[in-house]
Amino acid sequence: QVQLVESGGGLVQPGGSLRLSCVASRSIISINAIRWYRQAPGKAREWVTTFESGGSTNYADSVKGRFTVSGDNAKNTVYLQMNSLKPEDTAVYYCHCTVWGRQFWGQGTQVTVSS
């Protein structure tokens, strides 16, 4: 069993920044990859970014250049730094991993970008 707990969401104005955290119940070094997804109202869940245990990262085109994912092994935490936020970034953000062939999701954290 792996537990993932997100935090850091909130209300921010367009152009603002937020940093989300995803704390894992086990060492993130032992997890091949932790991914962030988001789901906007009425839309399908979409992949945002991947943080691999070796430090490699990948981003969806919609967030490339604005979002940065990083990891802190000592804190078992993956961060998602979101800058230059747009109203279309409004969504519930989830972190996810696959361990032992099973998928694990966090409970999500709401991000609202609005003036």
Q: Model confidence over 25-45: pLDDT tens digits?
A: 999 998 999 999 999 999 999
State residue 54's pLDDT score.
87
Residues 48-97: pLDDT tens digits? 999 999 889 999 999 999 999 999 999 999 999 999 999 999 999 999 99
Contact criterion met (CB below 8 Å) for 15 and 113: no
**Residue (of 58, 57, 54, 50) closest to 34 by Cα position:** 50
Instruction: Give the HSE-up count for residue 6: Cα atoms under 13 Å, Cβ half-sphere.
Output: 26
Instruction: Label the pairing between strands 109-113 and 10-12.
Output: parallel
State residue 55's pLDDT score.
87
Contact criterion met (CB below 8 Å) for 48 and 33: no
Instruction: Label the pairing between strands 57-59 and 46-52.
Output: antiparallel
